[in-house]
């Protein structure tokens, strides 16, 4: 943890930060992440080739995910007890920008927590999504956003909110969700013949069977259903090698866009792989309890972590860095950069010269 005192920055102990002396306001870090860095990134990504899932519209896919098990002690009443061990955690709803080339970047954050001034009902993920959507609309009022979410959001509340915001959506559809829709799918799939496609990889090891059904009524909404059954060689975690990917979407599906819609839905997995898994297990220490008593300290650390992850993602996916990576691993690259920052001195003139130049980042 760090103090920010004017232009100077120095380390402070875990005990100091736990006493609530983390001096950066939560609003300052949120503004830096939500209004500064993502705005530049989003504007640059809009020029990248997107996934064309509806005519010629190009989308930046936006995902929301419930992040749990933020370990810390006795500040909030969220806990899990297992085998005599107690884990304290805090849920937060995270909106992430994901793209096929590997980006999984935090755009906005909404903490799931009850008010200190009393409340009638517990806060929950769906309520947090309403608040988060308001933030996103205010931040990017003109941006075309496709919302890609997990099976928890397969409900009328999400459909209503996305229609209100003018956002198309792709929702993971699990068995047991929306039983009336599953009943209609089962009855219509028997007579569906034209809405099917079959793909096979160049090496012949992976096959994909696609089936879709359009114009399914659900309340005031008309939704569309698509399924991809993927078959790969069996392995330890999947002895049959068969995996089903099923989605509900606001896009009408046809032979030109069925595969793009499924691929866009599968990008949700990048939240765990390029997003939270990296932050939990690859050096960011997201699950460490950085404060025992101060919610400001751990929230600030979480926002600082997201900013760091954005910067790292921009560096690692930059075309120039990819060329360097051909001769070294990412771990060695970062060790070299850290060593340079620790042991090399940069003159003020050299630093001003670098900062005075416009830098162009090119991504594949």
Binned at pLDDT 50, 70 and 90, residue 311 comes out as confident
pLDDT in tens, 232-262: 998 888 888 999 999 999 999 999 999 999 9
Q: Looking at the domain assignment, is residue 330 inside a domain? A: no
Q: Looking at the domain assignment, is residue 77 inside a domain? A: yes
Q: Determine the average pLDDT of the residues in 140-166.
A: 89
pLDDT in tens, 81-114: 556 666 667 788 888 888 877 788 888 888 887 7
Vertex 45 angle, CA 42 and 49, to 5°? 145
- Kindly report the CATH number assigned to the domain that includes residue 259: 3.90.350.10
User: Cα separation of 72 and 1, whole Å?
Assistant: 15
73 by DSSP, 3-state: which?
A: coil
User: Cα separation of 299 and 355, whole Å?
Assistant: 30
Greater pLDDT, 64 or 357: 357
- Under a CB-based contact definition with an 8 Å cutoff, are residues 62 and 107 in contact? yes
- For the full predicted model, state whether its pTM sits above 0.85: no
Q: Determine the pLDDT at residue 125.
A: 81
Q: Determine the average pLDDT of the residues in 301-320.
A: 82
| Domain, as residue range, for 27 | 20-317
Domain count, the chain: 1
Tokens of 138: 């205010």
Q: Looking at the domain assignment, is residue 222 inside a domain? A: yes
Q: Determine the average pLDDT of the residues in 110-121.
A: 67
Q: 317-322 — which CB contacts under 8 Å span 24+ positions?
A: 317/101, 317/102, 317/103, 317/363, 317/364, 318/361, 318/362, 318/363, 319/361, 319/362, 319/363, 319/364, 320/362, 322/364
Q: Looking at the domain assignment, is residue 337 inside a domain? A: no
Q: Looking at the domain assignment, is residue 348 inside a domain? A: no
Q: Determine the pLDDT at residue 253.
A: 94
Considering only CA atoms, which of 139, 169, 140 is closest in space to residue 154? Answer: 169
Choose from 80-94, 107-121, 294-308 the range with maximum mean pLDDT: 294-308
Q: Looking at the domain assignment, is residue 15 inside a domain? A: no
- Under a CB-based contact definition with an 8 Å cutoff, are residues 143 and 120 in contact? no
Q: Determine the average pLDDT of the residues in 112-140.
A: 78
Q: What are phi and psi of 67, to 5 degrees?
A: -100, 125
pLDDT in tens, 176-185: 889 999 999 9
Q: Looking at the domain assignment, is residue 343 inside a domain? A: no
Q: Looking at the domain assignment, is residue 12 inside a domain? A: no
């Amino acid at each position: 943890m760090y103090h920010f005192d004017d232009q100077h920055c120095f380390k402070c102990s875990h005990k100091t930060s736990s006493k609530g002396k983390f001096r950066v306001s939560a609003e300052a870090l949120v503004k830096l992440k939500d209004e500064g860095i993502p705005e530049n990134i989003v504007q640059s990504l809009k020029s990248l080739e997107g996934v064309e899932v509806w005519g010629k519209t190009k989308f930046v896919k936006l995902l929301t995910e419930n992040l749990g098990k933020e370990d810390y002690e006795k500040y909030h009443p969220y806990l899990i007890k297992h085998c005599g061990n107690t884990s304290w955690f805090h849920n937060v709803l995270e909106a992430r920008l994901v793209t096929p080339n590997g980006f999984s970047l935090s755009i906005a954050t909404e903490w799931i927590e009850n008010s200190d001034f009393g409340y009638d009902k517990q806060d929950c993920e769906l309520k947090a999504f309403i608040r988060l959507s308001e933030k996103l609309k205010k931040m990017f009022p003109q941006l075309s956003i496709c919302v890609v979410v997990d099976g928890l959001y397969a409900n009328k509340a999400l459909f209503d909110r996305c229609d209100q915001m003018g956002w198309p959506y792709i929702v993971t559809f699990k068995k047991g969700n929306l039983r009336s829709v599953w009943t209609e799918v089962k009855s219509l799939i028997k007579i569906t013949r034209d809405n099917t496609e079959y793909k096979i990889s160049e090496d012949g090891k992976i096959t994909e069977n696609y089936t879709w059904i359009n114009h399914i009524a659900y309340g005031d909404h008309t939704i569309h259903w698509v399924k991809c059954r993927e078959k790969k060689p069996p392995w330890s975690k999947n002895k049959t090698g068969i995996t089903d990917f099923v989605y509900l979407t606001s896009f009408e599906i046809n032979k030109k866009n069925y595969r793009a819609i499924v691929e866009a839905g599968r990008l949700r997995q990048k939240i765990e792989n390029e997003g939270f898994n990296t932050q939990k297990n690859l050096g960011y220490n997201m699950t460490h309890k950085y404060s025992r008593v101060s919610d400001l300290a751990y929230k600030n650390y979480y926002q600082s972590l997201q900013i760091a992850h954005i910067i790292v993602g921009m560096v690692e996916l930059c075309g120039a860095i990819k060329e360097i990576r051909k001769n070294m691993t990412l771990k060695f690259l970062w060790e070299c950069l850290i060593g340079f920052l620790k042991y090399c001195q940069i003159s003020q003139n050299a630093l001003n010269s670098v900062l005075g130049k416009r830098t162009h980042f090119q991504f594949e």
